């Protein structure tokens, strides 16, 4: 199961997993998920879209209950990818901003993992991959609330890795840096000079380019596979070396 499956990173993860032979159930609040599935994924017969806002508890619980039935009581891979970002100076960051970021970035992953825990345990070799951020590792002005939620995702991943290890469940976090997605483009636009913002971002990356969603998907696919069978509780930066500076 992959949440945030309609986005740039989420869509790339779904495609990579489907191409690897997985049957994937994708969740997103964006109604375009169904159209994207028809265009790119449904032909393989191994992708099933669900339109749901994971920040709405009742809707999320209804859909995860449906998923437990469709999964037949077993889930091998869970990717908690759904996330939102907002730029705002700290003094202007109100409770509503923090609560909205927490609801999607942390609480949705917490609830989804809890709801699917019996199915993950039934796998015997399940892998949970939480998509955090480079900003779980470093700070950035204007993103105090976002950094707080993604740092929480990383701490949650580490704690869960230790607690669920005896049940045969591995848990890891992936920390993408600047990835070419609609979310990043919106961030550049919000800064007033998109071209300048893009150039500055590229200059901050030692590899000298922005990442692609496929870069993140490749790491997720590895962590989901048996090749990563002894990997758990780790944070995997996919940032072109940015956080190594």
Which residues are identified as catalytic?
A: 146
Q: In what helix (H) or strand (E) does residue 96 lie, and over which residues does it extend?
A: helix 95-102
DSSP assignment of 151-197, as one string?
HHHHHHHHHHHHHHGGGTEEEEEEEE-SB-SHHHHHHHHHTS-HHHH
* Token pair belonging to 45: 């017969």
The dihedral through the CA atoms of 92, 136, 1, 46 has a sign that is positive
Question: Tokens 């375009």 appear where?
Answer: 32
Q: What angle do CA 76, 79, 85 make, to 5 degrees?
A: 175
- Record the tokens describing residue 132, joined without a space: 């955090």
Cα separation values, 100 from 6, 81, 104, Å: 19, 16, 7
């Amino acid at each position: 199961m992959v949440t945030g499956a309609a986005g740039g990173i989420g869509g790339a993860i779904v495609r990579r997993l489907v191409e690897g032979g997985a049957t994937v159930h994708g969740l997103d609040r964006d109604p375009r998920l169904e159209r994207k599935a028809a265009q790119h994924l449904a032909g393989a017969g191994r992708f099933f879209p669900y339109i749901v806002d994971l920040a709405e508890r009742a809707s999320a619980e209804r859909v995860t209950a449906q998923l437990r039935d469709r999964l037949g009581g077993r889930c091998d891979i869970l990717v908690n990818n759904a996330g939102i970002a907002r730029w705002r100076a700290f003094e202007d960051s109100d409770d509503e901003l923090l609560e909205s970021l927490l609801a999607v970035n942390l609480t949705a992953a917490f609830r989804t993992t809890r709801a699917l825990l019996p199915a993950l345990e039934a796998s015997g070799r399940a892998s949970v991959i939480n998509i955090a951020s480079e900003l779980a590792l470093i700070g950035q002005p204007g993103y105090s609330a976002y950094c707080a939620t993604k740092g929480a995702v990383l701490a949650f991943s580490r704690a869960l890795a230790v607690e669920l290890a005896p049940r045969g469940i591995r848990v890891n976090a992936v920390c993408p840096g600047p990835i070419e997605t609609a979310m990043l483009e919106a961030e550049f636009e919000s800064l007033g000079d998109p071209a300048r913002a893009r150039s500055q971002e590229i200059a901050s990356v030692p590899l000298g380019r922005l990442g692609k969603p496929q870069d993140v998907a490749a790491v997720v696919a590895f962590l989901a596979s048996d090749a990563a069978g002894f990997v758990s509780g780790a944070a995997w930066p996919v940032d072109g070396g940015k956080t190594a500076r």
